[in-house]
Amino acid sequence: MADMDPETTTNTAGEEEPLFSNLDLFLFSLIVGLVIYWFMSRKQPEPIPEFKKLDTPTPTTRETSFVEKMKKTGKNIIVFYGSQTGTAEEFANRLAKDSQRYGMKGMAADPEEYSMGELARLAEIENSLAIFCMATYGEGDPTDNAQDFYDWLQENDDEDLSGLNYTVFSLGNKTYEHYNAMGKYVDKRLEELGAKRIFDLGLGDDDGNLEEDFVSWREQFWPAVCEHFGVEASGDESSIRQYELKVHTDVNMNKVYTGEIGRLKSFEVQKPPFDSKNPFLAPVTVNRKLNKAGDRHLMHLELDITGSKIRYESGDHVAVFPTNDSELVNKLGEILGVDLDVVISLNNLDEESNKKHPFPCPTTYRTALTHYLDITNPPRTNVLYELAQYASDPKDQENMRKMASSSPEGKALYQNWVLDSCRNILAVLEDMPSLKPPIDHLCELLPRLQARYYSIASSSKVHPNSIHICAVVVEYKTKTGRFNKGVATNWLKNKLVNGHKSTVPMYIRKSQFRLPFKASNPVIMIGPGTGIAPFMGFIQERGWLKQQGKEVGETVMYFGCRHKNEDYIYQEELEEAEKNNFLTQLNVAFSRDQDHKIYVQHHLKKNKEHLWKLINTDNAHIYVCGDARNMAKDVQTAFYEIAEEYGSMTRTQATDYVKKLMTKGRYSQDVWS
């Protein structure tokens, strides 16, 4: 070894050499000691701790079995509602509440929240009954929340509902082509699947008096139920409260709703996707008056959807959530003598109910009356009935109860004093000074303020980050001398561009009002007044397709207004589109610029031969938007006449021909009454 002592290599003659020298032993001992030290001092691996399994509560899931829920809560009547504007839901709640007066227990239910495949199991509950309050939307379609139920009814031919007792009240409007289609379908389909109808289908007509139709049906319905189940009415006609008031004296204001539709603080921290429960706050970037003169206010608004990930197509609807006029809200507070800024909650007395509050709580009375409750429509008869107890004048009490009855005298009084006079809840309170209801009960009874729908007046191909609205401001004088204002249009009118609170809570509702898949198909658009809205989007899109080099069929527009120099809205845009050949033909009817009135249908009749060629030979698609009561019917009649004359058809054949166009999606309507 290089470092070994030289002495170890020198040997004395005759001496025996030892096996290990002292140095060897020293070095060996040193190495062994170091090894032992290394082993002993090395960091021991940490033992892996044993974690106890945490007893985490199972996340609460909403009960999807309405049968189990009814068993658990002792209920035997369930009232399903298909509702788009809240009326069917309101009627369902009233029927569920009624059941208590007949010794039964009912619950209102959204079919979207439950498994409708359990209808057959309802027979497990004694004296059970399913009531369906079904509204019809659009072209005979189910409402959004009843779409899955409708699909289930269509798809399940083998379902046996022989143990199900049911009845249907349907909500519709006679001015529409498919009057009460959804209610009629549900009534017929349940019978086909073996269910037992215990009372006749009720048909409510919103073009007439929907409230009266419902009250008349309900008055006959309950005696039929009592007879069927062998029960008697309790005779208790007193008011039945559904919610109890809690006043919050010490509350964190960050936990208080200030107008949000769903999630608390959702207007401060916006998170997609945006829908009816989570609207997007869109800034207003344009708000201009469209008409040049006249006493009306027609307006064009543009909403900025940049960064929202919202997508829309031409023909879709934009839904906006308006707020009530602060002047009306303040007057309600004054007449009831309450502090509107008190923080409250209205809590459902039925703890098992999915609907814990009538509107987002906790909140203030001011927020509830501004954002959540409908205070401008005439109150329904059930509201008058429930509030009658708070009138100190016996005559007022008598009249309010009479208006809520189904007697001819009561119906006439309600029609004249409430509906024809357009009295809202404030007007009722002002004209009945003895009526002083507690504000919490009033808030419980008033229906929810609903979103308003507008046909989108733009194309996403041209305006991907902007949604355009075209609307006329509603304002009129009532028989009582009051001025009533449309909630949404007046609210939109006052939205200042880039001003304080110039945002609009909105979401998109998809529509079947669509341009043809093949751009080469001609389109015939009929839209007088603000009915032109979706066609502005159609024209923009057809123009864009042409610029992309696509083959685009004829694009024909029939527009109508009162006076050329007053309300010919979008005149510049339409004439520019015609000049660029985006519009191949522009026909405008000015109804009041001459002695005799000229409407869009008159222009259609002038161009019969050309229209027949487009429809019968070139597979044109027809679109009608606007007034359902008169215009849409007159336009349809004009097409019957064209088919009669140029297709050599009888009126019956012509009617069938147009109906077939509708079935094939070649005659579409986006109309309102």
- Which pLDDT belongs to residue 8? 34
At 367-385, the pLDDT tens digits run 999 999 999 999 999 999 9
pTM of the model: 0.87
536: tokens are: 């502005």
CATH superfamily of 323-450: NADPH-cytochrome p450 Reductase; Chain A, domain 3 (1.20.990.10)
Indicate which residues carry an active-site annotation.
455, 625, 670, 672
Instruction: Say how far apart CA 388 and CA 141 lie, in whole Å.
Output: 38
* Burial label, 153 (beta-carbon count in 10 A; 0-12, 13-18, 19+): buried
Instruction: State both tokens at 383.
Output: 């509201």
How far is residue 483 from each of residues 295, 296, 487, measured CA to CA in Å?
A: 15, 15, 12
Question: Contact at 8 Å (CB) between 529 and 561?
Answer: yes
Residue 599: closest CA among 633, 571, 556 = 633
Can you give the three-state secondary structure of 25-48, one letter per residue?
HHHHHHHHHHHHHHHHHCCCCCCC
Give the pLDDT band of residue 240 (cuts 50, 70, 90). Answer: confident
Q: Is 178 annotated as a binding residue?
A: yes
Whole-angstrom distance, CA of residue 645 vs CA of residue 305: 48
What are the pLDDT digits (tens) for 64-80? 899 999 999 999 999 99
pLDDT in tens, 503-548: 999 999 999 999 999 999 999 999 999 999 999 999 999 999 999 9
In tens, the pLDDT along 138-189 reads 788 999 999 999 999 999 999 999 999 999 999 999 988 889 999 999 999 9
Q: Helices in 525-622 by DSSP H: which ranges?
A: 533-547, 564-567, 571-579, 600-606, 608-612
Residue 258 marked in a binding site: no
Residue 450's pLDDT band, with cuts at 50, 70 and 90, is: very high
Is 420 within any annotated ligand binding site? Answer: no
Q: With cut-offs at 50, 70 and 90, classify the pLDDT of residue 51.
A: very low
- What pLDDT is recorded for position 239? 73
Assess contact for 263 and 280: CB atoms under 8 A: no
Q: Find where tokens 């189904």 sit.
A: 406
171 is in an annotated binding site: yes
Pair of tokens at residue 629: 């009561």
135 annotated as ligand-binding: yes
Average pLDDT over residues 310-316: 97
| pLDDT of amino acid 12 | 34
Q: Report whether 455 belongs to an annotated binding site.
A: yes
CA distance between the termini of the chain: 112
Averaged pLDDT, 429-447: 98
Any residues with CB less than 8 A from the CB of 344 and at least 6 apart, and which?
245, 246, 247, 248, 361, 362, 363, 364, 365, 368, 440
Q: DSSP for 146-185, please give it.
A: GHHHHHHHHH-TT---TT-EEEEEEEE-TTSTTTTHHHHH
Q: Is the pLDDT of residue 39 over 70?
A: no
When mean pLDDT is compared across 183-197, 227-241, 392-406, 435-449, the lowest value belongs to: 227-241
pLDDT tens-place string over residues 608-664? 999 999 999 999 999 999 999 899 999 999 999 999 999 999 999 999 999 999 999
523-671 and 323-450 share a CATH fold: no
Show me where the domains of the chain are located: 66-229, 265-321+451-511, 323-450, 523-671
Residue 103 and residue 74: Cα distance in Å, rounded? 12
The answer to whether 179 is a known ligand-binding residue is: yes
CB burial string 456-466: b at 16+ within 10 A, e below: bbbbbbebeeb
Helices (H), 282-380: 326-336, 365-367
CA distance 644 to 87: 41
Q: Assign 489 a pLDDT band (cuts: 50, 70, 90).
A: very high
For residue 253, count other CB atoms closer than 10 A to its CB.
Answer: 10
Please check if 174 is assigned to a binding site: yes
Q: Reply yes or no on domain 66-229 having CATH 3.40.630.30.
A: no
92 is in an annotated binding site: no
Known binder of ligand: residue 249? no
CATH number of the domain at 265-321+451-511, out of 1.10.3720.10, 2.40.30.10, 3.40.47.10, 3.30.420.40?
A: 2.40.30.10
Closest CA to 97 of 291, 303, 385, 436: 385
- Nearest Cα neighbor of 524 from 416, 663, 638 is 638
User: What is the dotted CATH code of the domain comprising 523-671?
Assistant: 3.40.50.80
Q: Is the pLDDT of residue 5 over 50?
A: no
* Contact present, 488 and 452 (Cβ < 8 Å): yes
What is the rounded average pLDDT for all residues in the chain?
Answer: 91
The pLDDT-based confidence of 14 (bands split at 50, 70, 90) is: very low
Annotated binding residue 131 = no
**Is 137 annotated for ligand binding?**
yes
